[in-house]
């Protein structure tokens, strides 16, 4: 029987004290902890995940600061080079410990803040309190409440009004297995008319422990802000993951999402954009790659509240072996959102007779003067595409690899860092090599 989360009360209090959190954060933790046992799990259409081990089996603990790379890991193999010169804003964490963080002086002078979530709570408590768990509410479901109560890592990015950042901002979050739960929160605030590109990676280092992961990313885009958000998720086969990324967009704000779901374990991915302001715009491009007996459910939603708001969803997935991949695309136009546009496309390639997939488009339209549409398809690699490539001298494995690369490339080309784009293609190639 599931252990009551409230039993972890003392460990939550102890962790909060160790992190020197402000009183308001402890209050939020305790309030969420009390509600967590009574709330329901979020509903994800056509994915039965209720028995997955997503909830904590113990209270939050701290690994403390991490000053060196794990001794048994090659830094280069996880995209890091010790003592390398870093020129763009970057934060590197192993579990809850920060390995390094860098913010160029000219950005700090403009008021940009980029640091771990606990330092932000200590140095900028009013700012973090104002926005923390506002796009996602702590009491909206059991996993959101548990996240608030057991949060044990993450980052805070604040870009002031009218600040334009040319360099990509990078967060590298490594799940090293030091902690027995991985509950991370990323809070991004883009003030009015700010512009920047942000890239994050969640990646597991090799360990055999079965660990629940609960990751929430909130992006608050104020009037006229323009955010390009890229992510690559590569958590391990022993990590059962719930990840929620949600944008809250005000007047004329835009967020371009490019997200690669390439984990090895079972995953629920919930990607939402709330188009609150008139003229707000969200483009969500997501790719998923499932293999083995892995189950991944990708639930992507855009809700048009504002007039002339635009929300487009593009989801492409590839399934190998006996993997399962479900795409839910939800476009919801609220009454009063005149001139809104909601479009979605979900397509899946199955490279095995044992693969299972579902592409589930949902349109909820409560207003008349709008534009909406959807497309969905599930199938195998087009024989004509393979024939064309093979007629040019390629063997079938190489031809199939190129087709898959092209199919997923719509998202990958949006990633602002070339080395990460190359890494994503390497992940695809490794998966195909083992199928």
337 pLDDT exceeds 70?
Answer: yes
**Residue 132, in any domain of the structure:** yes
- The β-bridge relationship of strands 239-249 and 310-319 is unpaired
62 contacts: CB under 8 Å, gap ≥ 6: 15, 18, 19, 96, 152, 179
The predicted structure's pLDDT at residue 79:
58
27 pLDDT exceeds 60?
Answer: yes
What distance in Å separates the CA atoms of residue 226 and residue 134, rounded to the nearest whole number? 19
DSSP 3-state assignment of 235?
coil
> Highest mean pLDDT range out of 64-78, 129-143, 372-386?
129-143
DSSP 3-state assignment of 282?
strand
DSSP-based helix, strand, coil % in the chain, nearest 5: 25, 40, 40
Angle at 349 between CA 346 and CA 350, to 5 degrees: 130
224 contacts: CB under 8 Å, gap ≥ 6: 192, 193, 251, 252, 253
Q: What is the arithmetic mean of pLDDT over 40-51?
A: 95
**Residue 394, in any domain of the structure:** no
| pLDDT digits 0-9 by tens, 102-124 | 999 999 999 999 999 999 999 99
What distance in Å separates the CA atoms of residue 217 and residue 220, rounded to the nearest whole number? 10
The predicted structure's pLDDT at residue 386:
81
Lowest-confidence pick of 97-101, 268-272, 306-310, 359-363: 97-101
**Residue 99, in any domain of the structure:** yes
Q: What is the arithmetic mean of pLDDT over 379-396?
A: 85
The predicted structure's pLDDT at residue 382:
83
Q: Which residues of 234-247 are buried (b: 16+ CB within 10 A; e: fewer)?
A: bbbbbbbbbbbbbb
More confident: 426 or 28: 28
**Enclosing domain of residue 337:** 5-381
What distance in Å separates the CA atoms of residue 208 and residue 238, rounded to the nearest whole number? 7
163 pLDDT exceeds 50?
Answer: yes
CA atoms within 13 A on the CB side of 88: 14
% of the chain beyond a pLDDT of 70:
94
The predicted structure's pLDDT at residue 72:
45
DSSP 3-state assignment of 431?
helix
Residues 295 and 49: beta-carbon distance below 8 Å: yes
**Residue 229, in any domain of the structure:** yes
308 pLDDT exceeds 70?
Answer: yes
Question: How far lies 33's CA from each of 40, 141, 151, 354, in Å?
Answer: 13, 12, 11, 41
The predicted structure's pLDDT at residue 82:
58
Contacts of 71-77 with C-beta under 8 Å, sequence gap 24+, read 73/205
Give the ranges where 323-433 is alpha helix by DSSP (H).
383-390, 396-412, 418-433
Q: What is the arithmetic mean of pLDDT over 351-366?
A: 93
**Residue 389, in any domain of the structure:** no
Report the candidate in 192, 202, 150 with the shortest Cα–Cα distance to residue 172: 202
**Residue 298, in any domain of the structure:** yes
Q: What is the mean pLDDT of the chain?
A: 91
CA atoms within 13 A on the CB side of 13: 6
234 contacts: CB under 8 Å, gap ≥ 6: 201, 202, 203, 204, 262, 263, 264, 427
**Residue 408, in any domain of the structure:** no
Cβ atoms < 10 Å from Cβ of 92: 22
The total domain count for the chain is 1
Residues 173 and 201: beta-carbon distance below 8 Å: yes
The predicted structure's pLDDT at residue 298:
97
Q: What is the arithmetic mean of pLDDT over 187-194?
A: 98
Confidence grade of residue 64 (pLDDT, cut at 50, 70, 90): low
**Residue 390, in any domain of the structure:** no
């Amino acid at each position: 029987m599931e252990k009551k989360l409230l039993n972890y009360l003392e460990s939550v209090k102890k962790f909060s004290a160790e992190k020197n959190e402000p009183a308001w954060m402890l209050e939020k933790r305790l309030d969420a902890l009390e509600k967590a046992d009574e709330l329901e799990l979020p509903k994800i259409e056509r994915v039965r995940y209720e028995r997955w081990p997503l909830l904590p089996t113990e209270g939050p603990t701290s690994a403390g600061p991490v000053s060196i790379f794990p001794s048994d890991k090659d830094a280069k193999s996880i995209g890091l080079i010790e003592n390398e010169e870093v020129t763009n804003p970057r934060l590197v964490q192993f579990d809850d410990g920060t390995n390094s963080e860098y913010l160029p002086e000219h950005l700090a002078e403009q008021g940009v803040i980029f640091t771990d979530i606990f330092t932000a709570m200590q140095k900028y408590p009013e700012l973090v309190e104002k926005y923390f768990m506002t796009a996602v509410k702590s009491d909206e479901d059991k996993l959101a409440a548990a996240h608030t109560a057991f949060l044990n890592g993450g980052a805070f990015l604040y870009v002031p009004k009218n600040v334009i950042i040319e360099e990509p901002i990078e967060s590298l979050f490594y799940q090293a297995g030091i902690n027995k739960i991985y509950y991370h929160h990323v809070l991004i605030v883009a003030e009015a008319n700010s512009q920047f590109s942000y890239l994050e990676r969640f990646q597991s280092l090799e360990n055999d422990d079965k660990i629940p992961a609960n990751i929430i990313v909130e992006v608050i885009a104020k009037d006229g802000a323009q955010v390009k958000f890229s992510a690559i998720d590569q958590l391990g086969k022993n990590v059962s993951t719930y990840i929620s990324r949600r944008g809250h967009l005000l007047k004329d704000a835009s967020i371009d999402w490019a997200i690669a779901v390439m984990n090895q374990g079972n995953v629920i991915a919930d990607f939402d954009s709330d188009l609150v302001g008139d003229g707000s715009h969200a483009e969500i491009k997501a790719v998923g790659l499932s293999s083995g007996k892995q189950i991944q459910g990708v639930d992507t939603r855009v809700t048009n509240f504002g007039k002339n708001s635009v929300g487009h969803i593009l989801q492409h997935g590839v399934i190998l072996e006996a993997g399962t991949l479900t795409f839910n695309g939800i476009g919801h136009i609220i009454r009063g959102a005149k001139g809104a546009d909601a479009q979605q496309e979900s397509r899946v390639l199955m490279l095995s007779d044992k693969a299972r997939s579902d592409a589930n488009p949902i349109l909820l339209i409560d207003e008349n003067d709008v534009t909406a549409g959807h497309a969905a398809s599930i199938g195998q690699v087009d024989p004509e595409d393979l024939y064309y490539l093979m007629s040019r001298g390629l063997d079938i494995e190489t031809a199939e690899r190129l087709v898959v690369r092209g199919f997923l490339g719509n998202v990958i080309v949006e990633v602002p860092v070339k080395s990460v784009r190359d890494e994503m293609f390497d992940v695809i190639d490794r998966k195909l090599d083992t199928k």
